[in-house]
């Protein structure tokens, strides 16, 4: 006798009963279906609006066989989408997955999810088998005429990681990222700090030696590790941000703060857009009395934001803000698993500088605030949809989490302690700018992939 149908009915009944009682039931992820037949799945897209290049909305899948299906963007030939840059070909990963149960599944697509340039269709895969496809409406295809592009990176950490056994993993991952950006002909690379392990001169020398081999500028702010014991302002100004400090400034450096760190850049490379690099001066966290920037710095920052309030502004600062409301550990840049795993060194909520910094982000919504610090790998937005990008329903500046170029962190709902995927992942963003919007394409530089599930469009 086949007991499986009976067991399935009993499970369905108990699940329904528990849901009626208000008990949350985690059904888990189903396995990939086996022996899927081609054209056995039908995908339907319901978009939230008509904005070209935006994938926000709901995707529904009906299939003959239950299981977990993966969704890819397809090109004009019906193949999985690949980006091309000179001799470099970079495939896109899946952009979503759908659990089909009882012949039907549905998934909400992220509010910021982008349809990449060149995507013409959605491809459905059950395991390695193409199970179905649907064409994208012509009015939803991504624009092609971009203005310029730049790279966004964080948390290089020279001298901290040595999984490769070569002496310093950052000497592999950082050049790989810059090579990637060079092939995509970026105008510049912007970073949100943590170049070192403890502020040591040797880390800054390595950074300078590598970046000087490229024909685009690489600018950065300080992170918390750059505030540690071995840091000196002299070493920073000598090796970091060439042409920013000192008398002979490069064209485009508009303002340098009295602290000799914070600066504004709007050069030929930025096509009129404004980049602000804002450095923290302390690695103190969590306590209400903790301060990571000074009043004078915030005065300077407010002045710059007011000056450029009608411009597109990219602000690079190392430490993320936690959620504006609700669970304080589930904001952009952080997550909280069911096993209570989270990144503990967050901006001290309610401290004097945190309150003022948050107020600035709520006032100047023309800003995109790039930050790093937690190292969370991009795929972990499955545990927190706001992890990588959010504007909290339009109430703040757009906030963007940059994963680590040298050591992304991974976790799941079952483990208390995270691990680092050093020399397995290396992540950052390729930012493509258009006249009225920009696209953040998450990249894995070691795997040579575009991470479609973390590719976003911002109408700004």
Per-residue pLDDT of 114-160, as tens digits, reads 999 999 999 999 999 999 999 999 999 999 999 999 999 999 999 99
Q: If pLDDT is split at 50, 70 and 90, which confidence band does 24 have?
A: very low
Q: Which domain holds residue 64?
A: 24-140
Q: What is the mean pLDDT of the chain?
A: 92
Query: Can you tell me the mean pLDDT for 281-288?
Result: 91
pLDDT more than 70, % of the chain: 93
Q: Within a domain: residue 17?
A: no
Average pLDDT over residues 298-308: 98
Q: What is the pLDDT of residues 311-323, one digit of tens each?
A: 999 999 999 998 7
Residues 124, 157, single domain; the answer is: no
Q: Phi, psi (5° rounding) for residue 189?
A: -125, 130
- Does residue 11 surpass a pLDDT of 60? no
Q: What is the CATH number of the domain that holds 270?
A: 3.60.21.10
136 and 41 fall within a common domain = yes
Q: What's the pLDDT at 115?
A: 98
* 113 vs 454: CA distance, rounded Å: 7
Residues 184 and 287 in one domain: yes
Domain termination residue (choose one: 114, 140, 166):
140
Assess whether pLDDT exceeds 80 at residue 22: no
Does 165 share its domain with 284? yes
If asked whether residues 157 and 292 sit together in one domain, one would say: yes
**Residue 3 placed within a domain:** no
Co-location of 122 and 66 in the same domain: yes
Mean pLDDT, range 399-407, rounded to an integer: 98
- Among 87, 109, 140, the domain boundary falls at 140
User: pLDDT digit string (tens) for 52-61?
Assistant: 999 999 999 9
338 and 201 co-located in one domain: yes
Same domain flag for 211 and 342: yes
- Establish if 452 belongs to a structural domain: no
* pLDDT exceeds cutoff 50 at 64: yes
Assess contact for 389 and 456: CB atoms under 8 A: yes
Is position 446 within any domain? no
- Residue 329 shares a structural domain with residue 396: yes
Judged against a pLDDT cut of 50, whether residue 207 lies above it is answered with yes
Q: Say whether both 221 and 264 belong to one domain.
A: yes
Indicate whether 457 belongs to any domain.
no
Judge whether residue 310 has pLDDT over 60: yes
68-77: average pLDDT: 97
Which of 252-256, 411-415, 435-439 bottoms out in mean pLDDT, i.e. has the lowest?
A: 411-415
State yes or no: pLDDT of 19 exceeds 90: no
438 part of a folded domain: no
Residue 29 has pLDDT above 90, yes or no: no
Does residue 453 lie in a domain region? no
Please say if the pLDDT value at position 401 is more than 90.
yes
Task: Give the pLDDT confidence score for residue 324 in this predicted structure.
Answer: 66
Among 245-249, 256-260, 336-340, the range with the most confident prediction by mean pLDDT is: 256-260
Mean pLDDT in residue range 280-304: 95
pLDDT score recorded for residue 283: 93
336-390: pLDDT as tens digits: 888 888 999 999 888 999 999 999 999 999 999 999 999 999 999 999 999 999 9
What pLDDT score does 21 carry?
A: 42
Q: What is the pLDDT of residues 80-104, one digit of tens each?
A: 999 999 999 999 999 999 999 999 9
Examine the pLDDT at 15 and tell me if it is beyond 70: no
Does 208 lie in the same domain as 173?
Answer: yes
Give the residue-averaged pLDDT of 225-252.
96
In terms of domains, do 233 and 113 share one? no
Angle, to 10 degrees, between the axis of helix 295-307 and the axis of helix 352-363? Answer: 0
Q: How far apart are CA 403 and CA 176, in angstroms?
A: 15
Residue 110 pLDDT greater than 70, yes or no: yes
Last residue of a domain, one of 112, 140, 168: 140
Domain count for the chain: 2
Listed residue (325, 318, 329, 324) closest to 293, CA to CA: 318
User: Does residue 203 fall inside a structural domain?
Assistant: yes
């Amino acid at each position: 006798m086949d007991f499986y149908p009976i067991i399935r009915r009993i499970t369905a009944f108990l699940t329904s009963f528990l849901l009626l009682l208000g008990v949350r039931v985690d059904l888990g992820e189903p396995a990939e279906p086996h022996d899927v037949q081609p054209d056995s799945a039908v995908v339907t897209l319901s978009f939230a609006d008509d904005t070209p290049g935006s994938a926000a909305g709901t995707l529904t899948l009906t299939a003959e066989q239950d299981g977990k299906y993966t969704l890819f963007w397809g090109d004009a030939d019906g193949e999985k989408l690949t980006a091309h840059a000179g001799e470099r070909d970079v495939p896109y990963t899946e952009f979503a997955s759908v659990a089909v149960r009882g012949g039907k599944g549905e998934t909400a697509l992220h509010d910021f999810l982008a349809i990449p340039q060149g995507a013409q269709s959605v491809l459905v895969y059950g395991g390695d088998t193409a199970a179905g496809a649907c064409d994208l409406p012509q009015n939803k295809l991504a624009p092609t005429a971009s203005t310029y592009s730049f790279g966004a990176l964080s948390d290089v950490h020279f001298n901290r990681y040595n999984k490769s056994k070569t002496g310093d993993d950052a000497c592999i991952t950082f050049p790989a990222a810059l090579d990637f950006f060079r092939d995509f002909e970026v105008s510049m690379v912007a970073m949100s700090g943590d170049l070192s392990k403890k502020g040591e001169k040797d880390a800054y020398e390595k950074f300078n030696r590598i970046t000087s081999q490229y024909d685009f500028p690489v600018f950065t702010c300080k992170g918390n590790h750059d505030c540690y014991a071995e840091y000196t302002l002299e070493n920073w100004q000598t090796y970091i941000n060439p042409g920013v400090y000192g008398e002979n400034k490069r064209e485009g450096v508009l303002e340098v703060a009295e602290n000799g760190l914070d600066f504004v850049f709007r050069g030929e490379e930025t096509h009129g857009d404004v980049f602000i690099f804002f450095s923290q001066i302390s690695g103190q966290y969590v306590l209400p009395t903790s301060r990571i920037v000074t009043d004078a710095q915030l005065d300077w920052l407010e002045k710059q934001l007011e000056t450029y309030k009608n411009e597109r502004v990219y602000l690079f600062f190392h430490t993320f803000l936690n959620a504006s409301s609700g669970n304080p550990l589930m904001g952009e840049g952080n997550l909280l698993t069911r096993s209570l795993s989270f990144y503990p060194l967050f901006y001290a909520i309610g401290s004097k500088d945190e309150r003022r910094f948050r107020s600035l982000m709520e006032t100047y919504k023309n800003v995109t605030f790039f930050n790093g610090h937690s190292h969370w790998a991009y795929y972990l937005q499955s545990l927190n949809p706001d992890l990588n990008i959010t504007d909290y329903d339009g109430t703040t500046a757009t906030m963007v989490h940059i994963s680590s170029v040298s050591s992304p962190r991974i976790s799941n709902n079952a483990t208390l302690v995270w691990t680092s995927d050093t020399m397995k992942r290396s992540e950052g963003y390729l930012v493509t700018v258009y006249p009225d919007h920009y696209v953040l394409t998450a990249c894995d530089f070691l795997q040579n992939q575009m991470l479609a599930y973390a590719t976003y469009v911002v109408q700004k």
